[in-house]
Amino acid sequence: MNQMKKFALLSVAAAFAVLPLLSQTTAPKPSFEVVSIKPSPPGNFIRGGGPRGDRFTLSGASLRMLLQFAYQHSSVGFLGSQLQVIGGPNWMDSDRYDIQAKADCSGGTIPREQVQLMVQSLLEDRFQLKAHTETRELPIYSLVVAKDGPKIKPSEDQTSTPAGIGPPQPCAPAENAQFPGPGQRGFPFNPNAPPPRGAMTMQMNPTTGLTMSGSGMPITAVVTMLQQQVGRPVIDNTNLKGLFDFKLQFSPEGLATPFGAAGFGGPGGGPGAGPAIVGPTGPAAAPSTASDPVPSLFTAIQEQLGLKLESTKGPVEVVVIDSVQKPTEN
């Protein structure tokens, strides 16, 4: 009898011990104060957007783009590996929305991780999203040095790249404001010149395709950019160290995510986006007119950089959509 009492007491104690842990895991996610969602006008291009001041604005954003922003891991600036989305409705890429949200800036600058949680809240509230993450064995790419050796050019200056080039931070003080996007007043980069040290730029041209240019960038930045184009994770197996200058010109035809068509290049994405590629992977340099056929990304990497993408398999974190609905207008 005494043993049964002791067991009951221990069970009760264990139950009370678990309660604080459960309460911690069920804390509500942060959210925007006000959210406006409207269908984009027909025929509008993807214009992207992102955080600026107390506003979070996206123009021409698809559900997939919102998922990219809300769940992808960030490794360089605002970019991370291309998020793998399993399931989802047939309108996930075709239906586009203009979104304006207002954040509470009373607590100061909001870190990216918190903004992602706020976008997750937006999806759960307005799109009725129910989703979960899991790890699956999926196709990936391994980036290796081609048989003739690397052609990517080491930077003459191998010192650390300058700080401060990056995406806008929500609720950041005006004096800490980052660069505006292409087409916005105060945009600091000459689209016909190489990018500044510590920046990587991207530009779409109907004749010459996509041009990626980088100055003083580690190979990990190249990997991150490639992931956005090939639609699957890329593992760096080049063993290349230091900083590099490069220019890569290729055709987006046949790619899983040509220039943001199925995902974000940072908070923006697509031709004419705001900061289409931001932070150390920033706005863009315009390519010159080309008369020769534009090579595919896989050919360009090998011919222009002396690198190669090899297909393989590996563990990939994915977001699985359990259910989602079209948002109701305001």
Q: For residue range 126-144, list pLDDT tens digits in order.
A: 999 999 999 999 999 999 9
Position 60 in a domain: yes
Residue 190's pLDDT is 59
Position 288 in a domain: yes
Position 10 in a domain: no
Position 241 in a domain: yes
Residue 212's pLDDT is 87
Residue 182's pLDDT is 45
Residue 82's pLDDT is 64
Using alpha carbons, list the distances in angstroms from residue 253 to 74, 250, 261. 26, 9, 11
Position 263 in a domain: yes
Give tens-digit pLDDT for 159-204. 886 654 455 677 877 544 444 444 444 445 555 677 788 887 878 7
For 228-262, letters b (16+ CB in 10 Å) and e give: bbbbbbbbbebebeebbbbbbbbbbeebebbbbbb
Q: Give the residue with greater pLDDT, 208 vs 185.
A: 208
% of the chain at pLDDT higher than 70: 68
Residue 38's pLDDT is 94
Average pLDDT over residues 218-236: 87
Instruction: Domain count for the chain, please give it.
Output: 1
Give tens-digit pLDDT for 41-94. 886 555 567 778 888 888 888 998 899 889 887 543 444 456 788 999 999 988
Contacts of 9 (CB under 8 A, 6+ apart): none
The whole domain housing 80 covers: 34-323
Q: Give the residue with greater pLDDT, 206 vs 168.
A: 206
Using alpha carbons, list the distances in angstroms from residue 55 to 33, 80, 105, 169, 217. 10, 22, 10, 10, 30
Give tens-digit pLDDT for 8-47. 444 434 433 444 433 344 578 999 999 999 999 886 555 5
Query: Is residue 281 very low, low, confident or very high in pLDDT (cuts 50, 70, 90)?
Result: very low
Q: Give the residue with greater pLDDT, 45 vs 100.
A: 100
- Residue 214: both structure tokens together: 């980088």
Q: What pTM does this model have?
A: 0.65
Position 123 in a domain: yes
Position 22 in a domain: no
